[in-house]
Amino acid sequence: MLIDVHSHLDFPDFEKDFDKVLERAKEAGVFAIISAGVNPESNRKVLEIAGKYPIVKPALGIYPSDALKMSDSEIENEIGFIRKSGPFAVSEVGLDGTYPEMEKQKLVFEKFIMLAKELDVPLIVHSRKAESETVEMLARLEAKKVVVHCFMGKLSIAKQIEDNGWLFSVPCIIQTSSQFQELVKKVKSTHLLTETDAPLLSAVKGKRNEPAFAADTIKKMAEIKGVAKEEMEKMVFMNYQRLFMGGPQKALNL
């Protein structure tokens, strides 16, 4: 059973053939797709999709650049909405060094770290060009259930993430990215998950990504680890069960 712990199924890229995208995912063996909201409108679309399709799990949050466009009161209102909605995870949230106002980003990120702890759900984190700051905040605020999505930082920081008991979600671009190949080589299998970031981060330039392609990521991860594809798939599924479901029995009873 395959897992996609980070996607954006509410994006307009999927409007014309959404049902077929999910059919292909199921045919590929995908068990669960976590779809992450990026702003208030996106969060509501994610909840609507998850309400219609059991395979889709809602992750709600505010993307760093979207948070910068919102007032403090708008951010607080959205956090209140997310709290009442009971999300499967909190995402997409975090820090991004390509955008300005890092102090505001940090203030918002802290609110989401605390929200995830309050709700006792995993926090799926964006950390582009701000990996050190992201890890520092997560550690200082004692975040427990953490997935670092599409980690592009130094391996020394990756070691800190692993030592803290947090996990990495590996995107489809591992097929061509030496950086992700090295990350998977160095990190223990017990700390690895799969994501697509669909419709983004396709392994083929210009091609729309989708959850079914998590199968290709598993194949590449197994090759790097020197294990059978089935063994790698089982390990990632167990990691998902442990972090998101609180144990194998609960996950299998969904």
* The residue to which tokens 């953490």 are assigned: 146
- Could you give phi then psi for residue 3, rounded to 5 degrees? -130, 140
Per-residue pLDDT of 171-203, as tens digits, reads 999 999 999 999 999 999 999 999 999 999 999
Please give the model's pTM, rounded to 2 decimal places: 0.95
State whether CATH 3.90.25.10 applies to domain 2-252.
Answer: no
Q: Show me where the domains of the chain are located.
A: 2-252
Radius of gyration of the chain, Cα coordinates, nearest whole angstrom: 17
Burial class (CB in 10 A: 0-12, 13-18, 19+), 29: middle
pLDDT for 25-65, tens place per residue?
Answer: 999 999 999 999 999 999 999 999 999 999 999 999 999 99
Q: Give the pLDDT confidence score for residue 246 in this predicted structure.
A: 79
Q: What would the two tokens of residue 150 be? A: 């599409």
